[in-house]
Each structure stands twice: as C-alpha cells, then as structure tokens.
Amino acid sequence: MLLFIVCFTSGLLALLVLRWHRTFKLLVPLPGPPSKSFLTGHFKDMFGLHGIEFQGEVLKTYGPTVRMAGALGEEFIFTLDPSFIHTVFVKDRSKFGRSKGGTLMIRSVFGPGLAALTGEEHRQQRKLLNPVFTEQHLRERDGKLFVHGCRSELTTKSPQLPIFTGVAKQACQAIDQSLSTDVIDMIPWTTAAALELIGEAGMGYSFNSFAGERNEYSIASKSVARLFVKLVPFIPIYPYLARLPITHNMLSYFPFPLLRQVLKVTNIQNEQAEQIIRERKDMLANGADLESVTGRGKDILTQLIPVKANEEGIFIFAGYETTSSTIARILDVLANNPEIQDRLRSEVLERQEEGVLELPYLDAVVKETLRLYAPASYISRICEEDTVVPLSYPVSTPSGTITSLPIKKGTRLALSVTFSNRDEKAWGKKADEFWPDRWLEAEQPGNPSLQCVYSSMMTFGIGQYACIGFKFAVMEIS
C-alpha cells in the first residue's frame, strides 16, 4: 500500500510539473486582480464564504470581462458580457465545450449521467430524457397542484393529494407540532421537505424526513453538496489524475480525508439507488401494481428505467440541495420584507383553487429569488478552437479599447450567472434589489437575446447543456 501511495504521489507530481510548463496565458492582457497564490490562484476567493462579494468587487473594479488566476499560474476569463455569453452558449457553441476536469469530477462522484457527458453522447442521452421532464408530462404525472397552509388556513378541492401537495402538508404539520418558541430555525425543515420531495417525486421512495428518522442515505445526501463544493478547486487537475492507472476501489486508500468522505457518501447513495432500481425493475417485470408504491410508479426514476439512464445521483444532488437552499432564501426574504410576505399570503389564500403554478405573484417571488440568488455563481466552459468573441461592453487593455476578444484553444472561461442576472443594463437600476413586481410588468425583464431556458436569466443555464430538470425544480420550490 505504501509503495502504491509513493508511486501515485510521484506520478501526480510529474503531471503537475508538466502542467506548470504548459501554464496558460491569455492572448490579450485583460485587466484583473493580482493572484495571491500560484498554487490555487483565485479559487479560494471565488468559492469562499464571501465568494459572491469577491466576484462582484472584481467586476466592479476591473470591468465586465476580466483576467483571473487559476491553479498553478493558469489564467482564465471571467465575464458577464451578454455578447460573449451568447456566443459561447448559442452562436458558436461548437467551439466551446464543458471543462474536461468538471465532467470527470462529476462522473467520479455521481456516475456517467447526463451531467458528465459531452458532444454527441450528451445529445443522444438528452433526447431520451427530454420527454420525462416536459412541463406537460410533469403536470400530468402529479396532477393539479394545490397549496396547503399551516394551521389548516387552506383547504384543497383536489380529489387526491399529489406528491408535492402531500409533502407540503407534512412539512406544515411537522412545523406546527414542533412550535415551542417564537423563533423557528427553518433550515432543517426546508432540508427535510426538499429531500422528501426529491425522494417521493424523483425516486418513488420516502425518507420519512418529518418523522425524525435517520438513515444512511439521507445523511449521505445531506453531505454530498458540502463535500462536492470542496472538490471544485481541484477541477483543473482532474484530467491529469485520469491519466493515472487508478481504479475506483484504489481511491479509498488515498491519504486524502476529503476524497475518502466523498467516496463513502456516494457509495451509500449508489447502493441505495441501485437497490430501489432493482426492486422497481422486478415489480415492472412481474406486472405488479405500482399504485401502492410511493409515487404510484409515476416518479422520475421509474420513468427513466426504460431508457437505462444513470441519473439518480446527480438528480438527487441538484434537486435536493438547490431546492432546499432556494426555499430557505425565499423564507428569509419574506421575513425581511413583511409587505411582500403579506401580499403573497393574500394571493395564496384568495386564489388557492387556481393551483400553485397559476399564482402570478408567487411566480414573481420565485423568479426574483432565483434571479438574485442563483445556486451556482458561474458556469465554466473551455475554448476548443482559436476564435474571436464579440463584446457588448468594450474592455480597456494596455494597447487600447477593444470590442472583440481573440481567444486561443484551451482557454478556460467562467461565465457569471450571478452578475449576468444583476446586470443593470439588462435589469435596470433595481438590478440588485429584490423586487418581484418586475415580473408583473407588460415587458418582461432581462436580456432575451441570451436565449436562457428560464425567464431571460442564467440561473438554469443556456443552450444544449442547460438544466434539464429546471421545470421540476420550479414546481418543487413553488
């Protein structure tokens, strides 16, 4: 074992030396902050506790398109420029691909699902999955949604309780029963609700989150997001690690606690998911009646079995973590804006028969939260051939002001989600404010030229790699 570790470390050092000799510099010396570390560049600043503040200060100080420092002295481009973003995701999308390190990391953590695929392989898999995630399919599967309020303030006219409504009711009842003080910590409840929703609607499996049950799978699921974020700074070296003759089982012997933790929780997830899939396949093969199963056989995992998709790992991560954090953020915003809270409550009480997805002010509150507090602050891409990208916002360089930017093959790009969603030129002077009414105006806000999949904001991405489950996520949050 010791010999293996020594050989691995030697091989890794050799690859890092090779990487250092190939350090990437931009063709054009863009403005940007000085690097504090050759080893990690600006990664710690961008992903730290105050990462959003750091990114905002950089763009405010140096301009909308800047040079940033990556690992081992590499330079990459960070931008909110709409023409740049549109070119990368839409106009010249064939020239820009997913980061190899990013897809390898996702594959190693979650398996070979859609999020880990690129090119034609991704296109074919997405084509198979698209029908499962259409709004029509989601509505037909879960029926018309009705809201349940705490303390029985609301009632339902629905003959059956669909999954979303049932989980909402469980959450409200659990909160009511636990009331002991005037202050309620909502994070555990939003976490429980999101996990139960993704379990029942996504996998046809109940975690019994509101009963206080603790099982290895739910504990592991709650750990994945925290551990996954810690792996992000290592993305640039993943392609080099992939060259080493390492099996998945060998990774568990590495002297890196973080890596061992990630493997432990993902192995628990995979084993549980595989067990659920085996049981569901057996039931389908034997012609069993799935009406008695959680989700009544209409959950997404059961729908994916015929196309043999390996999506359960990333689906739970994306559907659980981002949903719980967004719901918690909505509650925080409402607590700090009582006039918005009162208006939203009035709409829900007065128009409950119309269904959750038909309430305009609720929709506006959800959209505004997703705009202002996107779960991911930027999207990474890599340039796959030499090209020139147009700029909406000119950039000052030592040789003068430029309106287009030459980029060489291999250049890494970080396209800002957070600050594209807060760009004053697209969103107006109240771009940094929580103002749901912007979504109720005749002219929709944002930059429609970006061709985002959700309401002219970058929260769920753009183009062929946009989030396939964004409609499901919006239904969950609502």
Cα angle 30, 33, 36 (rounded to 5 degrees) comes to 130
In angstroms, rounded to a whole number, what is the distance separating the alpha carbons of residues 423 and 386? 28
Half-sphere exposure of 195 (CA within 13 A, CB side): 25
Query: Could you identify the residue written with the tokens 């949903």?
Result: 323
Helix, strand, or coil here: 408? coil
DSSP-derived pairing of the beta strands 457-462 and 412-416: unpaired
Does residue 158 contact residue 143 with C-beta atoms inside 8 Å?
yes
In angstroms, rounded to a whole number, what is the distance separating the alpha carbons of residues 289 and 340? 45
In angstroms, rounded to a whole number, what is the distance separating the alpha carbons of residues 462 and 90? 8
Residues 6+ apart with CB under 8 A from 386: 406, 407, 408, 409
Does residue 262 contact residue 231 with C-beta atoms inside 8 Å?
yes
DSSP 37: -
DSSP-derived pairing of the beta strands 75-79 and 412-416: parallel
In angstroms, rounded to a whole number, what is the distance separating the alpha carbons of residues 63 and 246? 43
- CA 229 from chain centre, in angstroms, equals 11
In angstroms, rounded to a whole number, what is the distance separating the alpha carbons of residues 424 and 47? 24
Residues 6+ apart with CB under 8 A from 284: 290, 302, 305
Closest CA to 115 of 377, 461, 375, 471: 461
Q: Residue 7, annotated ligand binder? A: no
Binding residues: 467
Binding-site entries for heme? 467
